[in-house]
Amino acid sequence: MESIDDYITEHIDQEPDLLKHIYREAQLKLLHGNMSSGHLQGRLLKMLVHMINPKKVLEIGTFTGYSALCMAEALDDEATIHTIEIDDEMEDLIVNNFSQSLFGEKIILHIGDANEVIQQFENNFFDLVYIDGNKRDYWLNFESVLPKTEKGGFIIADNTLWHGKVVEPVKSNDWQTKGILEFNNKLKSDNRVEKVILPLRDGLTLIRKI
Ligand SMILES: C[S@@+](CC[C@H](N)C(=O)[O-])C[C@H]1O[C@@H](n2cnc3c(N)ncnc32)[C@H](O)[C@@H]1O
């Protein structure tokens, strides 16, 4: 019987060929290839960018550049994405992936620790931020980007249901689950923002700065 995931991807916009290739290469050649966004999430990111129509986007966690390329597809001519990746061994692959896309010129890559790079964006205010870096740092990432987010701007955090581990007993050394729990618990009572969790894929939290 056809799975619901297959049914969904058969009934939404197709995944562009370049993205299919980037996704497949990540699965075949990279140790944690499954960290990449895929067909459904990529099309959703593109749609959210169309809906929000941001002028400046910030992404924490580039990996292969898949999600940055999806968001770039929907940007206006003058809009840009800053994306930050800590792993300098990914740089050549990312630059190559961006160079093959019509939308690569809209993306500015920063290699470094997001928590440090963000501090350098003194006069940059973002109207959309996508948090998809280290799960242990989610709350730190959020606190760093909130002052750099426009009022009425959006922050989207990926993996906030963390394979369902958020409702299971947590192992003492599972720092990633603890990071996601800290984020979800603190966000819940944060009056600076509105928030809703979409149970899509691994959980996507949509946040709006009040
Ligand atoms: C889940 S992957 C990102 C996937 C990508 N956004 C996509 O959807 O295709 C997480 C990435 O965040 C990077 N990362 C982890 N900690 C980081 C940090 N402190 N600053 C910047 N990047 C970080 C990792 O090296 C990894 O490539």
Architecture of domain 4-209 in CATH?
A: 3-Layer(aba) Sandwich (3.40)
For the entire predicted model, the pTM comes to: 0.97
Relative to the CA of 133, which ligand 1 atom is closest?
Answer: 12
Our answer on whether the CB atom of 144 is closer than 6 Å to any ligand 1 atom is no
Relative to the CA of 61, which ligand 1 atom is closest?
Answer: 12
Q: What mean pLDDT comes out for the span 70-86?
A: 97
| pLDDT at res. 188 | 98
Label residue 122 by pLDDT band (50, 70, 90). confident
Position 39 pLDDT exceeds 80: yes
Only one residue has tokens 């990540």, namely 26
CA pair distance 71, 31, nearest whole angstrom: 24
Position 52 pLDDT exceeds 90: yes
Q: What mean pLDDT comes out for the span 3-25?
A: 96
Closest to 208 (Cα-Cα) out of 42, 44, 52: 52
Position 55 pLDDT exceeds 80: yes
Q: Which of 49, 82, 86 to mutate to test the pocket of ligand 1 (most atoms within 8 A of CB)?
A: 86
CA pair distance 56, 74, nearest whole angstrom: 12
| pLDDT at res. 166 | 96
Count CB atoms within 10 A of the CB of residue 9: 16
Give residue-wise pLDDT tens across range 176-190.
999 999 999 999 999
Beta strands 149-158; 204-209: pairing state: antiparallel
* Contact by Cβ (8 Å): 209, 149: yes
Residue nearest to atom 16 of ligand 1 (CA): 134
* Contact by Cβ (8 Å): 155, 146: yes
DSSP 74: T
| pLDDT at res. 102 | 95
Label residue 1 by pLDDT band (50, 70, 90). confident
Count CB atoms within 10 A of the CB of residue 12: 13
Q: What is the mean pLDDT of the chain?
A: 96
* Contact by Cβ (8 Å): 138, 195: no
Strand segments (E) across 6-124: 56-60, 80-85, 107-111
| pLDDT at res. 124 | 75
DSSP 148: G
Our answer on whether the CB atom of 107 is closer than 6 Å to any ligand 1 atom is no
Our answer on whether the CB atom of 141 is closer than 6 Å to any ligand 1 atom is no
- As a whole-number percent, the residues of the chain with pLDDT over 90 amount to 96
Beta-carbon-side half-sphere exposure of residue 171 (alpha carbons within 13 Å): 4
Q: Which of 19, 39, 81, 87 to mutate to test the pocket of ligand 1 (most atoms within 8 A of CB)?
A: 87
CA pair distance 149, 151, nearest whole angstrom: 7
